[in-house]
Structure 1
């Protein structure tokens, strides 16, 4: 039983290590160079621009 728990602990640590390595290699450099923030800024600006273009009543009248 102790061997099983040891193996599960090893497996959990290996999975966490793999996740951390993947995070450090892929996401962290992009975040540090500002690419992630720029991407979110573009998404948020696009949503805000679409949301405030025209009220729903005006859009509904245009369709009918």
Structure 2
């Protein structure tokens, strides 16, 4: 049986790079890439969903990874 992991995914085209997700991530899995959009480090992200709840633009979602 495969273990499924949730992971944050950012809709980069709609991201305003406000940094809210970076501030609330307990693992430091998000960074602002070149001042343009948030980027998720898939290895570090544990899928807790804090960034999803706090994103003022509502452009981050959790996806199930196999």
Higher relative contact order (CA 8 A, sep 6+): 2
TM band (smaller chain): under 0.3
Q: Say which structure is richer in helix.
A: 1
Q: Say which structure is richer in strand.
A: 2
TM-score, with length taken from structure 1: 0.18
TM-score, with length taken from structure 2: 0.17
